[in-house]
Amino acid sequence: MTDTETQDRQTIEQNGHDVAEAAPDGTEEDALATLQAERDAFLDQLQRSRAEFANYRKRVDSDRALLRERATQDLLTQVLPVLDDLQRALAAVPDDQRETGWVSGTQMIERKLAAIMERFGVSPIDALGQAFDPAVHEAVATDPGSSGERVVEVYQTGYRLGQTLLRPAMVKTGDAPVA
C-alpha cells in the first residue's frame, strides 16, 4: 500500500465516507466539490475557534489586570490608616521633643511610607479651602448657620489612586473666610 493510499484510507476513516460515496455517478468534479465544501467548513470552524481563543485570551488578560488593580487598591486602602496614625503621632509631639531620636526615626518612617504610596500613584486630596465636592469629600460637620459650600477643616485626608477614589476626605464645611 502506498503512502497516498494510506492517506486516502485515513481520510475515509476520519470522514466516515468514501469520496466515491459522495459522488455516486463517479464524477471527479462532484467529489472535488464535496471535498472543497468539507475543507471550507473545517477552515471556517478553525477560524472561529482561533477567534474564540483570541477573545478568551483578551478577556483573561483584562480580568487579570483588573484583579491586580483591585488587589493593589485593597492593600493601599489598608495601609492608609497606618500613614494617618504616623502623621497624627508626629503632629502630637511636643515642641521640646521634636529633635529627639525617636521623633526623627518616626518622621523617616512616615516619609518612606508616603514615598511608597506616591510611587504606586496614590495622591492626597487637597480639600482645605476647596468647594465641597461630595464625590471626594465626606462632610462630618458643618458650621452652624453656614451654607456649607467650602471645606473649612479636614479631619482625615482623602486619597486617590490615579483617578480612583481610595478614601474620601472627612471634612467640616462652612462659608469661605472673608479675605
Three-state SS letters, the chain: CCHHHHHHHHHHHHHCCCHHHHCCCCCHHHHHHHHHHHHHHHHHHHHHHHHHHHHHHHHHHHHHHHHHHHHHHHHHHHHHHHHHHHHHHHHCCCHHHCCCHHHHHHHHHHHHHHHHHHHCCEEECCCCCCECCCCCEEEEEECCCCCCCEEEEEEECCEEECCEEEECEEEEEECCCCC
Q: What is the pLDDT of residues 28-49, one digit of tens each?
A: 889 999 999 999 999 999 999 9
Which residues have C-beta within 8 Å of that of residue 135, sequence separation ≥ 6? 165
- Domains of the chain with bracketed CATH: 121-179 (2.30.22.10)
Q: What is the pLDDT of residues 92-112, one digit of tens each?
A: 999 898 888 999 999 999 999
Whether residue 179 has pLDDT greater than 90: no
Distance CA 139, CA 133 (A): 9
Distance CA 165, CA 122 (A): 9
Which one is predicted more confidently, 155 or 145? 155
Grid coordinates belonging to 123: 495622591
Contact (Cβ atoms closer than 8 angstroms) between residue 131 and residue 150: yes
Hey, which residues does 161 pair with through a beta bridge? 122, 164
Average pLDDT for residues 136-164, to the nearest whole number? 89
Q: In the β-sheet with 164-167, what is the strand arrangement from edge to edge?
A: 122-124, 159-161, 164-167
Q: What is the pLDDT of residues 56-92, one digit of tens each?
A: 999 999 999 999 999 999 999 999 999 999 999 999 9
